[in-house]
Amino acid sequence: MSEIKVPAMGESITEGTVSRWLVKEGETVNQGDVLLELETDKVNIEISAEESGVLEKIIRQEGETVEIGETIGTLGAGTGGGGGGSGAPASQPATEQQQAAAPAPEAVAVAVATPPAAAAPESSENGTKTASPAARKLARERGIELDQVQSKDPIGRVYQEDVKSHNTQPPASTPAPASKAPAAPAIAPAAGGSTYAKPVERQRMSRRRATIAKRLVEAQQTAAMLTTFNEVDMTAIMDVRKRRKDKFKEKHDIGLGFMSFFTKAVVGALKKFPTINAEIDGEDVVLKKYYDIGIAVSAIEGLVVPVVRDADRLGFAEIEKSIADLASKARSNSLALSDLQGGTFTITNGGTFGSLLSTPILNTPQVGILGMHKIQLRPVAIDAERMENRPMMYIALSYDHRIIDGSEAVRFLVTVKELLEDPESLLIEG
């Protein structure tokens, strides 16, 4: 028998949450087969079988928090068939007749969880729903029929979170007959004195969303965060993209977007103002002599910030390819820890969602973050006598005032603006 342990997942990660087991107790697995998914603060990790055998026991259920090195299950030698709750020992293999006679573990669990009068409920699935062990246990404790629980799983399997969010009254001491009408929902008094039901749905935060919430609050409570604003005339960049995008695409097989221009401009400004490419360590300021730029990307469970490494050494095409690859990984939930660690400065683009102006929150321990916004035609005074409609973008720099003075932050943002309004200079300054 071998133990299934939570592997080390990076120096900044000490625990995770069992997202879902992909193998049931008693099932046979081969070496390298994925046993379960583990959700961490940053990425989801698949844990595979280190040897072939039978999954004898699941120790930590779905939804439970586990620590690095903790044993979460056991894997035994032998051949399983999904029969009993654990694989039969190799010295005493079960016969085919015994396996056929023994009830499946799912059927046993559901028979306990469901009162006899409601053992065969009418449902669209024409049968009993499949549920995780943790979900069956919780449903049994709360007196909930699994067929009444709405599942968020694409294949309809019920998990512990589904049971927790199921809106039901506490069970009575004696189960109600199947023919009895379901109890009416609880009625809450309204402010005006009348009573009526208001539908709600309670969802538990994923580990990643909870961590994002915690760190955003910590950033605001720890750093002396201020934001300064400016606006950029995007005419020159849009003209370059219009003239060069077809040849650029043909040569590099990637589109010429705005992010490469902004990344180059940020790197050029960081070289002039190195304190903004630093972090605070106790009473020391750590000035970083490299430029790993984090690009905020919207994923299913919230914003993640994968990092474009050594952005100062990359050309426009290399930056665009790196960003496209990282964004694709984020959307498919396949980012590795190495993709997320070690950024020195962050760029976030709220303009893709239509944001006109915002104050981005620091991605600690970084001390600066640049916010991009929607490009909008606005009347601009060209000189004392002329006005033109120009494509304008507001940009925002949030910074940690503990080590960055206001004048330094303003000059940094002005430098970014000047580099963007003169794109050819990016080849020199960036």
Catalytic site includes residue 401: yes
Tokens of 166: 């199921």
For residue 367, give the nearest of 219, 265, 229 by alpha carbon: 219
Q: Tell me how far CA of residue 156 lies from CA of 162, 192, 201, in angstroms.
A: 11, 41, 18
Give CA–CA dist 63/131, Å, rounded. 13
Catalytic position from the list 166, 339, 405, 422: 405
Q: Tell me how far CA of residue 78 lies from CA of 29, 35, 102, in angstroms.
A: 10, 17, 18
Give CA–CA dist 411/420, Å, rounded. 14
Catalytic position from the list 233, 252, 401, 422: 401
Catalytic site includes residue 405: yes
Helices 406-421 and 235-252 cross at an angle (nearest 10°) of 60
Give CA–CA dist 264/116, Å, rounded. 69
For residue 38, give the nearest of 59, 58, 12, 64 by alpha carbon: 64
CB distance 264 to 319 below 8 Å: yes
CB distance 206 to 42 below 8 Å: no
Q: How crowded is residue 391: how many other Cβ atoms within 10 Å of its Cβ?
A: 16
Tokens of 39: 């959700």
In the chain, how many H helices and how many E strands? 11, 21
Helix (H, G, I), strand (E, B) or coil at 294: strand
Active site residues: 401, 405
